Chains A and B, each alone.
Chain A
Amino acid sequence: MGARQHISANVNGDPVEFLAEPGTTLLDALRDELGLTGSKEGCGSGDCGACSVTLDGRLVCSCLVLAVEAQGRRITTIEGMADGGTLHPLQQKFLEHAALQCGFCTPGILVAAKALLDVNPDPTEVEARYWLAGNLCRCTGYDKVIRAVMDAAADLRQERV
């Protein structure tokens, strides 16, 4: 344990400030200091993807990022995905396709899937499967997850036209 440090960052578009021990992960800071419990800890070792967030637009496991590394940076979590009361098309497609069962891995998968569609609006099924290979889901067998992502991608391409 060491002295807590003061961190200023931007989370989901809003400026935030919090204190964190040098060893505290970004995930713990999001959950315990900022009350953003949508990001989940499934493993704490970067193997399950349930804590996926973007850091300056890049997809990361927030359990592998130190809270102090967030200083001055821009973080997006699952809580920042919907536009107010309007769900993002990925969120909507996950509901329509029944692409979640317990829902625990869902926030991380949605954040990761959005990061995919941001860089590759027209992924093949194989590309989607490999992009999401870092997000474990034990309930669904991924079938409906992949269908929901592909369907959302198609809708988003349509919107762009």
Chain B
Amino acid sequence: MSDVIDRPAAKAQFKVVGTRPVRPDGADKVTGKAAYGADLMLPGMLTGKIKRSPHAHARIIAIDTKKARALAGVKAVITAADFPDLASEEMAGGESAANVRDIALNCMARNAALYEGHAVAAVAATSASIADEALALIEVTYEVLPHVIDVEAAMAPGAPLLHADIFTKGVEPAPTTPSNIAHRHDLTRGDVNAGFAEADAIAEGRYTTAAVHQGYIEPHACVATFGADGQCQVWSASQGHFAVRTLCAKILGLDTSDIRVTPAEIGGGFGGKTTVYLEPLALALSRQCGAPVRMVMARDEVFRATGPTSGAVIEVKLGARRDGTITAGQIVLKYQAGAFPGSPVHPGVMTALACYDIPNFTITGYDVVTNSPKVTAYRAPGAPISAFGVESAVDDLALKLGMDPIALREKNAVRDGMKAAYGPTFRNIGYVETLEAIRDHPHYQAPLGPNQGRGVAVGFWFNIGGDSTAAVQITDDGAAVVATGNPDIGGSRASMAMMAAEVLGLPIEKVRPIVADTASIGYSMLTGGSRTTFATGMAVTQAAQQIVTDLKRRAAQIWEVAVDQVEWLDGAAVCRDPAKGELTLAALAAKSGETGGPIGAQVSLNAQGAGPGFGAHICDVEVDPETGGVTILRYTAAQDVGRAIHPAYVEGQVQGGVAQGIGWALNEEYIFDTDGKMENAGFLDYRVPVASDLPMIDTILVEVANPRHPFGAKGVGEVPIVPPLGAVANAVRAAIGVRMTDLPLSPPKIRAAIDGR
């Protein structure tokens, strides 16, 4: 099922960290009590709905809302005219910068609709059916324009232009004519021509991936209320309620301090809930009518107007000597950004060769706007795409050299002290250990039958730290409440409580974690970038440590001894003088009034030293030569996880990432018709993996502690989606003997490849 490989000295070092307690928020989630974005109701609440562009690209000539406003039961109607026309402004986001003007224009189109599904107006009404009727009464006059969705078509001279003010950044001299290429990124090392001249074998290919959606099961949802005094409240399912607050303030021209955002439970995000779509509209509607407004997207709106990540073209050329030493790499990445700049091509560039020690390379990336929904972060944004190309080419290189694919990767693996392709020097990484783990796993030797094949691939993600706040309070009966500002998407309340319990010496049941609203806890960056357990966990740990220091002082005061005579052991102060006995946390809490008042601590920090993560995966498939269908037979994923705070949830992250990667590889894709309209905006036709599509997914947690975290933790959530695209494609190649280069590997493509053998 699952193995944990760690350093012997670390075993049994902790009492709570590394165990598998029931999550503190679990009971509410298995009984249906947990309140997600669409579950909140306020008295007098109205239903808000959005009118969307039916065209992939159109100028908005006029919007007539008179008939909609006149309909009984309609309380508010808004268009872009109800929002300030913002200037371009870059702001720091979760993992990438975001332009506030673009986010505002993505929430509500002003002069042009840039993709099918782009919001052009919104209404609030007393019922959903009246709101639907009102939407139909809004008359929008469009001038339909030519559209472009394919990334290379959008780059070509003469392509329909989305924005007149995009002059490719990153090119010298700066272009004087606008284009759809928003940004060019270059990363180079050494002399690539000399590197290829040294090579005995070359592997190269052109690979494509389709746009895919994060596919969280909970559609976007929020409730907002705009008070007569200008005080606003928002409840929403978001990965970052502080980001919701800031973005709403900027988009509506409000003061941040006038907005309080309370995080609802969130039904999955995977990066897709790191921005706003509904919240500014719900606030604007509420401002107009004075009543609370709830907005919930339908599934087709989620597909047409949120997410996805880029469809892309990846060109890779690798050269190696006979002994397997890779001497040169040349990579070109072209990523769809959707309607506004900001594809994850930059991290795609930075991660492309991060697993490899290569002396000579050039990597070029293009961020290209297209008439499709603006892409949003999706789990290790950009990395699975570039890794798909690189891991396919490395597999071909292993074939040409007659080398085992794991041995080839080991030979060229980055190790501690090496300079990463993207700049910094690696320290305390566990990459080679993950390769060894899959090499030594029984899966790698398991026999294969006819039409079956085995693929290997690796992946990398940076992980981030950043701003986090945690407050720990001791209750009058000697338990603890841990408040953080990070929405819990996948069990982070458990890891927060466990770290506090470990430091305080309490059983996990005595620590109650909550996710606090923006007015009740200090600023915290959103839950993303695999940062929460690392960064927010560091804040929790430090707050708990401060409390322990304070408790020792309080005990020393009660005992009238010097503080260095007091130790904190298993949840109690113990005096070196045995005659004094011990003071439990409960005893100290009961006497807190006599020793300085309530016991608690809050820590705000900017966590540094997140520590990058690596994964190495093995995938076995069977291809049905009649249908071209691919069955995943076995899957094993090893990952460099630092220290697993709650190993079951770490395994869950790995298994979930693998499943999403398998969907990306085999089934999932945005399909557009010739008018640029999405043809498969539902879960029937956009097919995410279901239970019967997958085997058990074995995980190997490789624990090489991250010295920058008090318990050795590092981010784990994003790495596991990086290798599967390559692992599946390499397994299919092994099964049918043909290199498949265009994702998804759908049955018709595989049939065609088999027929062409």
CB-CB < 8 A to B652: which residues of A? 98, 101, 139-141, 143-144
* Contact in complex: B32, A36 (CB < 8 Å): yes
Of the listed stretches A45-53, A65-73, A153-161, chain B binds A45-53
User: B177 an interface residue at 8 Å Cβ cutoff?
Assistant: no
* Contact in complex: B489, A102 (CB < 8 Å): yes
Given contacts A101-B490, A136-B217, A138-B656, contact A106 B691 (CB under 8 A): no
Of the listed stretches B18-26, B410-418, B503-511, B541-549, chain A binds B18-26
* Contact in complex: B658, A141 (CB < 8 Å): yes
* Contact in complex: A41, B648 (CB < 8 Å): no
* Contact in complex: A105, B217 (CB < 8 Å): yes
* Contact in complex: A139, B696 (CB < 8 Å): no
Quick one: closest B residue to A110, CB to CB?
Answer: B30
Residue tally, chain A, CB below 8 Å to B: 61
Q: Which chain B residues (692-709) contact chain A, with CB distance < 8 Å?
A: 692-694, 696-697
Whole-angstrom CA separation of A48 from B491 in the bound complex: 22
User: A44 an interface residue at 8 Å Cβ cutoff?
Assistant: yes
User: A95 an interface residue at 8 Å Cβ cutoff?
Assistant: yes
* Contact in complex: B656, A43 (CB < 8 Å): no
Quick one: closest A residue to B36, CB to CB?
Answer: A104
Whole-angstrom CA separation of A137 from B216 in the bound complex: 8
CB-CB < 8 A to A100: which residues of B? 26, 29-30
User: B270 an interface residue at 8 Å Cβ cutoff?
Assistant: yes
Quick one: closest A residue to B720, CB to CB?
Answer: A141
* Contact in complex: B696, A98 (CB < 8 Å): no
* Contact in complex: A133, B690 (CB < 8 Å): yes
Given contacts A106-B29, A141-B659, contact A130 B490 (CB under 8 A): no
* Contact in complex: B129, A143 (CB < 8 Å): no
* Contact in complex: B691, A129 (CB < 8 Å): yes
Q: Which chain B residues (257-306) contact chain A, with CB distance < 8 Å?
A: 265-270, 296, 298-299
* Contact in complex: A78, B218 (CB < 8 Å): no
Q: Which chain A residues (93-115) contact chain B, with CB distance < 8 Å?
A: 94-98, 100-107, 110
CB-CB < 8 A to B682: which residues of A? 43, 45, 47
Whole-angstrom CA separation of A125 from B332 in the bound complex: 44
Residue of A37, A78, A102 contacting most chain B CB atoms (<10 Å): A102
Q: What 0/1 readout, one digit per residue, does chain B (167-191) give for beta carbons within 8 Å of chain A? A: 0000000000000000000000000
CB-CB < 8 A to B129: which residues of A? 1, 21, 23
Given contacts A44-B298, A104-B267, A133-B690, contact A139 B656 (CB under 8 A): yes
Whole-angstrom CA separation of A50 from B36 in the bound complex: 13
User: B7 an interface residue at 8 Å Cβ cutoff?
Assistant: no
Quick one: closest B residue to A130, CB to CB?
Answer: B692
CB-CB < 8 A to B513: which residues of A? none
User: A77 an interface residue at 8 Å Cβ cutoff?
Assistant: yes
- Size class of B's contact patch? 35 or more
User: A134 an interface residue at 8 Å Cβ cutoff?
Assistant: yes
Whole-angstrom CA separation of A30 from B128 in the bound complex: 15
User: B143 an interface residue at 8 Å Cβ cutoff?
Assistant: no
User: B348 an interface residue at 8 Å Cβ cutoff?
Assistant: no
Shortest A76–chain B CB gap in Å is 12
Whole-angstrom CA separation of A110 from B30 in the bound complex: 8
User: B3 an interface residue at 8 Å Cβ cutoff?
Assistant: no
User: A128 an interface residue at 8 Å Cβ cutoff?
Assistant: yes
Quick one: closest A residue to B2, CB to CB?
Answer: A143
Cross-interface CB contact of A138 among B38, B217, B265, B653, cutoff 8 Å: B217
Given contacts A104-B267, A139-B656, A141-B697, contact A38 B32 (CB under 8 A): yes
User: A59 an interface residue at 8 Å Cβ cutoff?
Assistant: no
* Contact in complex: B660, A95 (CB < 8 Å): no
CB-CB < 8 A to B648: which residues of A? 97-98, 144
Whole-angstrom CA separation of A130 from B690 in the bound complex: 9
For the A-B complex with A101-B656, A138-B268, A147-B696 known, give 14 more contacts whose Cβ atoms are closer than 8 Å. Answer: A21-B129, A37-B39, A38-B32, A94-B26, A100-B26, A102-B489, A102-B490, A103-B25, A105-B217, A105-B267, A106-B30, A140-B656, A141-B656, A144-B652
Chain A interface residues toward B at CB < 8 A: 1, 21, 23, 28, 31-32, 35-45, 47-48, 50, 77-79, 81-82, 87, 91, 94-98, 100-107, 110, 126, 128-130, 132-147
| Leading 6 A-B pairs by shortest Cβ distance | A38-B32, A104-B267, A141-B659, A103-B29, A141-B655, A98-B648
Between-chain CB contacts (< 8 Å), 28 pairs: A1-B127, A1-B129, A1-B130, A37-B39, A40-B217, A41-B38, A42-B219, A42-B267, A43-B683, A47-B299, A48-B299, A87-B31, A91-B31, A94-B26, A94-B30, A95-B27, A102-B265, A103-B25, A132-B692, A137-B691, A141-B652, A141-B689, A142-B690, A143-B655, A143-B694, A143-B697, A144-B651, A147-B1
